[in-house]
Amino acid sequence: MDIRERLREHLRGWWARGRALSAAHPPAVDIGVAFLVQAAMTMPFVVPRPADVAPATWPAYGLTTLTVIPLIWRRKAPLAALFAILATSALYKPALEGPGQPLPYTGLVIVYTIAVLSPPWKRLTTGVLVLVAVPMSVWLNTRTARELTFSFFVFAAAYAFGRLTAARQRANRVEAEQAAARERARIAREMHDILSHAVSLMIVQAEAGPVAVRTAPERAEAAFDAISETGRDAMAQLRRMLGVLREEEEPGGAPRAPQPGLAGLPDLLDRVRAGGLDVVYGTAGSAWPLTDATGATVFRIVQEALTNTVKHAAARTVSVQLTYTERDVDIRVTDDGRGPRPGPRTGHGLVGIRERAAAHGGTAVTGPGPDGRGFEVWVRLPVPSAAEVAR
């Protein structure tokens, strides 16, 4: 990382910390803004004045401070702060002979604030007041068209920057809400996949258990072991997923494990086989390492397809086939069960498969298997090449 990139990273970090401070402590930020404005307005008082000009006085400096103090309440009562600033500013030139200011700092800050935070009627009131106050201020000062034009320009710029900030904040809120909605949908898919798969296998094993106790005790013991193993695996996955939602690790807690990926497929298939379903697994093409996100998606799609088979298909055999090509991976899960059921589907499993595929720019097709028998889930996911993954 070069110096410019490091500088940009530092600036982004400072900006993020500043925004976080502003959101967490608005009064402190307003007080800080008032101090900065006061410092700017102090400069003409400390810079030496020409010998033929009377020195600046403490009363004049005190009046500038009275002009700045309303900024502390600029968020809570913006219009009241504006009226106070206009009132104290109107007294400055007629009552006291103090040094002028290069910019109307307090007026610009309060106009910007109103443009960002206030409803339309307050913004309209502010515009009317500025249209009246600016010509009066120019008439009391230089009475030149140059000052009048410049004053209108800087106030219009302050208002425009305020409206742009408000628009950006609205866009950020919309983006945050959309991100939160996507995250809720992702968590819902994960919860559905974990619980639906585990509970389905446990139900199948539990229903087979009493029969096995009477006819084949050794199989009953295996069924109960499968129930226990499935439950423990589901609990581990839930703890891992919920742990990601916490802002901090619990003291002494176990490190967070990654999402299951292709390496977890053999265990998944073994758990399904333990329920009595014959699972045939195969791959074709030149397999290369997938990204963690793609590998997790492949795992979840296979898991959900097998869950549907266990719950609905009454199948004896299911085939899981992964086919790698130059730019994508095909996932086919085909069973020999009863096939698609007529009528509308109310479950979320197939919807979740389509959503996962779409999230990676892929496609998902579900329907009857070959020759119209059974049920098939076919998903195609575009994936980067092995060289791109290595980079």
Among 100-109, 119-128, 253-262, 295-304, which is the least confidently predicted range?
A: 253-262
| 41 in Cβ contact with 102 (< 8 Å) | no
DSSP 8-state secondary structure symbol assigned to residue 326: S
pLDDT tens, position by position, 108-146? 999 999 999 999 999 999 999 999 988 988 887 778 888
- Exposure on the CB side of residue 10, measured as CA atoms within 13 A: 7
Question: What does the alpha-carbon distance between residue 224 and residue 222 come to, in Å, rounded to a whole number?
Answer: 5
Domain assignments of the chain as residue spans, ordered by start: 21-143, 265-391
pLDDT tens, position by position, 52-84? 666 777 888 888 888 899 999 999 999 999 999
| 109 in Cβ contact with 74 (< 8 Å) | yes
Among 75-84, 146-155, 207-216, which is the least confidently predicted range?
A: 207-216
pLDDT tens, position by position, 21-57? 666 678 888 888 999 999 988 888 888 877 766 677 7
Element (H, E) at 198: helix 145-215
294 vs 349, which has greater pLDDT? 294
The pLDDT of residue 21 is 63
End-to-end CA distance of the chain: 16
Coil, helix or strand for 386?
helix
CATH of domain 265-391: 3.30.565.10
Edge-to-edge strands of the sheet including 278-284? Answer: 278-284, 317-324, 328-335, 375-382, 363-368
| 290 in Cβ contact with 298 (< 8 Å) | yes
